[in-house]
């Protein structure tokens, strides 16, 4: 597939910063007409502005997928490679970054332009020196001109973001990585400009203008920066050396690394490049560094190709043409691009295939709508099918187009939302540039451009607000760099930098000044980290040596000097919890953290032994090998319940207790009551905070009990079994008072003779008649019928609460249960 050219063809090859694009613009300006194809809309727009300044706006055209400015007398055309009007005759034609013919996604377009785009008098092919063998083979009559780089590009080693020199560009390979790096630079250095290929020229220019004007000293970009975008960059730092190329995640080729690194240093100024890490998969290899510095890269042995003038007589013929292999050893069949993937999906639809008869070219044009939103072939195919359905009938409906554009005409939302709308409006701008797709394309082209500009301004404002802190940036520049910032901390913990208060060091946590954004000031403070580290180490030593009175606990949080330093967490048992240091102490060295944790654990053990002595003793009894199994099980159940346990589930263990075991429980403060086992001291207000904190560390903390209440309505918050209350009828009664009533009843009775309990006791506790009746029944008393005067009771034997339930595995029980459910 060699091309014989009657006119002059020159291949200008060399690394970045050789003036290739500048030469092409100068040569085009010297001709009566001309055209240059660029890899990026941003670059086409940049050169368009330069040529307009030279030739005037009425003589220069800009043609991209989403933007078309073509004056009536236009003679010089700046285009994206895909949008070059190859049927227009001009005196001069140039193709920039021709080595992109090896790109998997767009390579076939650049190969087609390299083979067929020609100027009447002169053609210029611009690219890397790796193109030389391909040019020799495919365009054998081309004159090859090699241009050396104007300045030196050298490796500067790995540097952390905090140590990058001013006028650096940091390159990442996804929007998420770009935003993360920009956020870090905002915190450390006051901000960064953001440049991505998906940005509109208006947003990109506004961001670059900030960088060029020195409002920010850093630029964060995707690899789009490598495609000839000219900025005043002294150092290029790679945030990573791997990218997702649409099919897989892979390491950059050396040529790609060099293309990006070459943005450092412009014209006669030398530049440097490096990575953010010194070791690992994202660090440069020595051979890569040597190749980039000496501009020695593997040559290209082939380019991707697809028929640029396919047969559109029928749909099968079109697909066959686009799938045909090349007939030259220097060409390879291009991987299936999204336009062909969409075409295949639509061709499988019988309705679309039938409608495409006689309109194959129109269908193929619709498949060429770029997937700006990165929806994928399936979703994008649905959209294209709808567009073609309208086109096959005439034009895209005015109302549908207007509604979709109006839906995107909103400047609210965060950066990601605005970027998504901007990507979507590019689709409609592309459609508006098709002259025969809309009834009034000029109106809609202006309308979509208006929306794009409004979204671009909003996105620029959003990027600036999110990633630039002008106060911090000015402070850094004023003092001469982050490493030189003098930081002081006064006795109250206030931190100042050059007289500017940026916050307070409260305990071990830095809290920003209320008038500043937290992330900005906190990480600006990292510039004085050495001073802070010394202060934090001093405080760590003081905490380890702190007296017991300097520590306190509230709601599970351990405080020192009023600051939270740790929190309770579950341990081996309820009375033996563990502690977890607050994340504010992550700034300390491991030995300091370990010493603090050991001190806090000792304090917790001592505090529990003081506030909850019975729980501490019960924990010891539960693991005492000398104690009997009944005692250990009761101690374990009481500890798990925070000092309270119903007697019924422990009935067998209680009855199995030896007299010595009962004595040990009494010494621990445990009362073995008629209905409950408990330690009355745990009902005191002093014990409640620790009980609630220990139970809360194990799960959801219980509500505190009603203050001073003995008998309260059953649904009173905090009047629960775990807080020492027993539900009786419509009331909840504290267990120690239940036991008092039980003892009084047993002391008043004479065997099984009827008796009337003293009503004054129940009245003083606030017990209702129904509560008394329920309590007496659960204690094992039965009412005596037909007795005049106060209610009389007779001892019946075992308390009702201890009577085992009837068996449930007989036919009568099952039938009775069924009747009750019915």
pLDDT tens for each residue of 316-350: 999 999 999 999 999 999 999 999 999 999 999 99
CA distances from 208 to 219, 457, 460 (A): 8, 13, 10
What's the rounded Cα separation, in Å, for the pair 608 and 586?
A: 27
The DSSP output letter for 468 is B
The HSE-up count of residue 225 (CA atoms within 13 Å, CB side) is 33
Are the CB atoms for 229 and 42 separated by under 8 Å?
Answer: yes
Helix 338-347 vs helix 377-393: angle between axes, to the nearest 10 degrees? 60
8-13 and 509-512 beta bridge pairing: unpaired
What's the rounded Cα separation, in Å, for the pair 228 and 246?
A: 22
Are the CB atoms for 601 and 578 separated by under 8 Å?
Answer: yes
What's the rounded Cα separation, in Å, for the pair 596 and 536?
A: 12
Are the CB atoms for 766 and 711 separated by under 8 Å?
Answer: yes
- State the pLDDT at residue 807: 46
Q: What is the mean pLDDT of residues 434-460?
A: 91
CA dihedral angle for residue 67, residue 70, residue 76, residue 78, rounded to 10 degrees: 10
What's the rounded Cα separation, in Å, for the pair 720 and 726?
A: 7
Query: How does residue 499 score in pLDDT terms, banded at 50, 70 and 90?
Result: low
Q: Cα–chain-centroid distance for residue 429?
A: 31
CA distances from 48 to 54, 70, 670 (A): 10, 12, 90
SS3 144: strand
Identify which of 178, 198, 244 has the alpha carbon closest to the alpha carbon of residue 170: 178
Q: Hey, what are 586's tokens?
A: 């992550």
Beta bridge partners of 273: 155, 236
Beta bridge partners of 191: 468
The average confidence (pLDDT) of the chain is 85
* Cβ-defined contacts of 370-377 (< 8 Å, 24+): 370/65, 370/338, 370/426, 370/427, 370/430, 371/338, 372/198, 372/423, 372/424, 372/426, 372/427, 372/430, 373/420, 373/423, 373/424, 373/427, 374/423, 377/338, 377/341, 377/342, 377/345
CB neighbourhood size of 330 (10 A): 20
Are the CB atoms for 173 and 223 separated by under 8 Å?
Answer: yes
Q: At residue 132, does pLDDT exceed 70? A: yes
Q: Hey, what are 336's tokens?
A: 């299936």
Query: How does residue 474 score in pLDDT terms, banded at 50, 70 and 90?
Result: low
> In sequence order, what DSSP letters do the residues of 642-663 get, joined into one string?
TSEEESGGGHHHHHT--HHHHH
Q: Cα–chain-centroid distance for residue 282?
A: 21
- State the pLDDT at residue 822: 36
Q: What is the helix (H) or strand (E) element at residue 170, kind and residue range?
A: strand 168-171
Identify which of 704, 759, 699, 706 has the alpha carbon closest to the alpha carbon of residue 731: 706
Q: Hey, what are 646's tokens?
A: 């119903």
Are the CB atoms for 220 and 172 separated by under 8 Å?
Answer: yes
Are the CB atoms for 489 and 480 separated by under 8 Å?
Answer: no
| Residue for token pair 């009047």 | 719
Q: At residue 469, does pLDDT exceed 60? A: yes
| Residue for token pair 């993937």 | 341
What's the rounded Cα separation, in Å, for the pair 31 and 162?
A: 49
Helix 629-640 vs helix 659-667: angle between axes, to the nearest 10 degrees? 30
What's the rounded Cα separation, in Å, for the pair 41 and 43?
A: 5
Task: Tell me how many helices (H) and strands (E) the chain has.
Answer: 29, 34
What's the rounded Cα separation, in Å, for the pair 747 and 431?
A: 97
Q: At residue 267, does pLDDT exceed 70? A: no
Helix intervals (H) in 394-440: 398-408, 415-432
Are the CB atoms for 122 and 7 separated by under 8 Å?
Answer: yes
What's the rounded Cα separation, in Å, for the pair 34 and 27?
A: 9
Q: What is the helix (H) or strand (E) element at residue 453, kind and residue range?
A: helix 441-467
- State the pLDDT at residue 809: 47
Query: How does residue 205 score in pLDDT terms, banded at 50, 70 and 90?
Result: confident
Query: How does residue 201 score in pLDDT terms, banded at 50, 70 and 90?
Result: confident
pTM (predicted TM-score): 0.58
Q: Cα–chain-centroid distance for residue 647?
A: 52
Instruction: Choose the most confident range, by mean pLDDT, from 55-64, 190-199, 246-255, 291-300.
Output: 55-64
Q: At residue 528, does pLDDT exceed 70? A: no
Are the CB atoms for 221 and 194 separated by under 8 Å?
Answer: yes
CB neighbourhood size of 587 (10 A): 17
Residues 6+ apart with CB under 8 A from 591: none
What's the rounded Cα separation, in Å, for the pair 47 and 141?
A: 29
What is the SS3 assignment for 172-220?
Answer: CCCHHHHHHHHHHHHHHHCECEEECCCCCHHHHHHHHHHHHCCCCCEEE
Q: At residue 218, does pLDDT exceed 70? A: yes
Are the CB atoms for 123 and 117 separated by under 8 Å?
Answer: yes
Q: What percent of the chain has pLDDT over 70?
A: 90
> In sequence order, what DSSP letters do the residues of 523-564 get, joined into one string?
HHGGGGHHHHHHHHHHHHHHHHT--GGGEEEETTEEEETTEE
Q: Hey, what are 645's tokens?
A: 């346990």
Query: How does residue 3 score in pLDDT terms, banded at 50, 70 and 90?
Result: low
Identify which of 599, 601, 584, 476 has the alpha carbon closest to the alpha carbon of residue 536: 584
Query: How does residue 821 score in pLDDT terms, banded at 50, 70 and 90?
Result: very low
Query: How does residue 2 score in pLDDT terms, banded at 50, 70 and 90?
Result: low
Residues 6+ apart with CB under 8 A from 90: 31, 33, 34, 35, 75, 77, 119, 120
Q: At residue 711, does pLDDT exceed 90? A: no
pLDDT tens digits, 41-91: 888 988 999 999 999 999 999 999 888 899 999 999 999 999 999 889 999
Q: Hey, what are 43's tokens?
A: 């670059």
How big is the chain by its Cα radius of gyration, in Å? 41
Are the CB atoms for 27 and 35 separated by under 8 Å?
Answer: no
* Cβ-defined contacts of 290-294 (< 8 Å, 24+): 291/254, 291/258, 292/153, 292/155, 292/254, 292/257, 292/258, 292/261, 293/153, 293/154, 293/155
């Amino acid at each position: 597939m060699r091309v014989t050219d009657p006119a002059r063809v020159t291949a200008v090859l060399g690394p970045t910063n050789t003036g290739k694009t500048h030469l092409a613009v100068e040569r085009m300006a010297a001709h009566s007409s001309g055209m240059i194809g660029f890899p990026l809309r941003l670059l086409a727009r940049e050169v368009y502005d330069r040529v307009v300044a030279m030739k005037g706006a009425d003589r220069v055209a800009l043609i991209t997928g989403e933007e078309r400015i073509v004056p009536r007398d236009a003679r010089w055309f700046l285009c994206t490679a895909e949008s070059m009007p190859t049927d227009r005759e001009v005196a001069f034609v140039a193709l920039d970054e021709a080595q992109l013919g090896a790109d998997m996604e767009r390579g076939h377009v650049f190969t087609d332009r390299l083979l067929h785009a020609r100027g009447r008098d002169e053609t210029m092919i611009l690219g890397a020196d790796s193109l030389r063998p391909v040019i020799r083979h495919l365009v054998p009559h081309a004159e090859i001109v090699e241009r050396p780089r104007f300045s030196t590009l050298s490796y500067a080693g790995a540097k952390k973001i905090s140590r990058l020199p001013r006028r650096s560009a940091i390159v990442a390979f996804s929007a998420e990585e770009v935003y993360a790096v920009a956020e870090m630079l905002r915190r450390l250095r006051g901000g960064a400009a953001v440049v991505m290929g998906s940005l509109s020229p208006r947003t990109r220019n506004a961001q670059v203008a900030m960088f060029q004007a020195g409002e920010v000293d850093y630029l964060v970009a995707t690899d789009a920066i490598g495609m000839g975008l000219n900025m005043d960059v002294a150092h290029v730092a790679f945030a990573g050396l791997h990218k997702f190329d649409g099919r897989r995640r892979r390491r950059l080729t050396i040529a790609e690394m060099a293309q990006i690194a070459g943005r450092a240093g412009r014209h006669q100024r030398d530049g440097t490049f490096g990575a953010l890490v010194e070791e690992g998969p994202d660090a440069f290899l020595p051979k890569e560094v040597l190749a980039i510095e000496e501009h020695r890269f593997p040559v290209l042995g082939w380019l991707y190709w697809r028929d640029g003038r396919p047969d559109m007589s029928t749909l099968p013929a079109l697909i066959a043409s686009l799938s045909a292999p090349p007939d030259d050893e220097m060409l390879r069949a291009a991987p299936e691009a999204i336009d062909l993937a969409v075409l295949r999906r639509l061709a499988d639809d019988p309705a679309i295939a039938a409608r495409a008869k006689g309109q194959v070219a129109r269908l193929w044009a619709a498949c060429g709508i770029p997937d700006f939103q990165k929806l994928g072939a399936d979703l994008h195919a649905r959209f294209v099918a709808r567009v073609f359905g309208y086109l096959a009938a005439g034009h895209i409906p005015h109302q549908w187009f207007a509604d979709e554009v109006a839906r995107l005409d909103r400047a609210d939302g965060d950066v990601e939302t605005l970027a998504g709308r901007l990507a979507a409006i590019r689709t409609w701008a592309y459609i508006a540039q098709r002259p025969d797709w809309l009834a009034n394309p000029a109106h809609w082209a202006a309308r979509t451009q208006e929306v794009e500009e409004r979204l671009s301004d909003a996105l620029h404002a959003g990027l600036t607000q999110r990633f630039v802190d002008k106060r911090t940036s000015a402070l850094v520049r004023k003092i001469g760099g982050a490493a030189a910032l003098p930081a002081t901390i006064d006795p109250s913990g206030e931190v100042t930098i050059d007289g500017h208060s940026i916050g307070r060091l409260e305990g071990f946590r830095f809290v920003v000044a209320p008038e500043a954004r937290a992330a900005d000031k906190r990480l600006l403070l990292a510039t004085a980290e050495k001073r802070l580290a010394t202060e934090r180490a001093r405080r760590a030593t003081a905490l380890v040596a702190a007296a017991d009175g300097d520590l306190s606990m509230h709601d599970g949080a351990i405080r020192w000097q009023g600051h939270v330093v740790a929190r309770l967490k579950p341990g081996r048992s309820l009375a033996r919890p563990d502690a977890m240091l607050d994340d504010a102490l992550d700034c300390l060295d491991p030995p300091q953290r370990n010493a603090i944790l050991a001190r806090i654990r000792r304090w917790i053990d001592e505090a529990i032994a003081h506030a909850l002595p019975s729980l501490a003793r019960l924990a010891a009894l539960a693991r005492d090998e000398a104690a009997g199994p009944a005692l250990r099980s009761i101690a374990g159940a009481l500890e798990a319940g925070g000092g309270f346990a119903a007697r019924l589930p422990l009935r067998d263990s209680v009855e199995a207790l030896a007299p010595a075991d009962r004595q040990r429980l009494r010494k621990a403060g445990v009362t073995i009551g008629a209905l409950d086992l408990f330690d009355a001291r745990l009902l005191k207000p002093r014990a409640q905070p620790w009980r609630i904190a220990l139970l809360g560390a194990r799960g959801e903390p219980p509500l505190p009990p009603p203050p001073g209440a003995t008998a309260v309505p059953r649904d009173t918050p905090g009047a629960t079994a775990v807080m020492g209350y027993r539900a009786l009828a419509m009331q909840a009664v504290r267990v120690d008072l239940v036991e008092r009533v039980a003892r009084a009843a047993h002391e008043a009775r004479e065997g099984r003779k009827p008796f009337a309990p003293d009503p004054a006791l129940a009245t003083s506790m606030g017990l209702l008649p129904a509560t008394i009746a329920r309590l007496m029944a659960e204690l094992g008393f039965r009412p005596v019928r037909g007795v005049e005067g106060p209610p009389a009771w007779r001892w019946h034997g075992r308390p009702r609460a201890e009577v085992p339930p009837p068996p449930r595995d007989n036919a009568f029980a099952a039938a009775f249960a069924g009747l009750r459910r019915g």
